[in-house]
Structure 1
Amino acid sequence: METMLHVEGMTCAHCRKPVEGALTGLSGVKQADVNLESGKVRVSHNDTVSKEAMKEAVEDQGYDVV
């Protein structure tokens, strides 16, 4: 299963690590790929992970999910 998140506030390669780390730290998330140009994150996960949990994990790192 894949979910696309639009994340605001990511401006450089340094932003990638905390966002990807927060998402891959969730149980059930297999992979998170940040695209800085588009501001989107593609999250590969199983069906036990909610979009709300992903949003909260990213927002805890100081970024906004819209």
Structure 2
Amino acid sequence: MEKELKVNGMMCVNCQKHVHDALAAMAGVSSVDVNLEKGTAKVTADRDIPQDEFKKVIEEAGYELA
């Protein structure tokens, strides 16, 4: 499964790393590519992850899933 997420609230490279690390820690996630300029995160996983799981992880990291 590959999914591109729109993440609001990232302002700097530390924000980018925080989002990356939060998503990478999710069960089943094999790779994460966070683009600070576009405000996106591309996630590759070996299972279908529901949108609400992404939302919870992003919000717990202090950001908003658009």
Fold shared per TM-score above 0.5: yes
Letter matched to residue 53 of structure 1:
E
Q: Give the % identical residues.
A: 38
Kindly tell me the number of residue pairs found equivalent between the two proteins.
Answer: 66
- Deviation for aligned residue 1:27: 0.6
Q: Is the 8 A contact 1:55 1:65 kept in 2?
A: yes
- Deviation for aligned residue 1:23: 0.8
- Deviation for aligned residue 1:46: 1.9
Paired residue secondary structure (1:3):
strand
Runs of 5+ unmatched residues, structure 1: none
Letter matched to residue 13 of structure 1:
V
Is 2:34 the partner of 1:34?
A: yes
Paired residue secondary structure (2:61):
coil
Paired residue secondary structure (1:37):
coil
TM-score (norm 2): 0.90
- Deviation for aligned residue 1:41: 0.4
Query: Stretches of 4+ moved more than 3 A in 1?
Result: none
Paired residue secondary structure (1:41):
strand
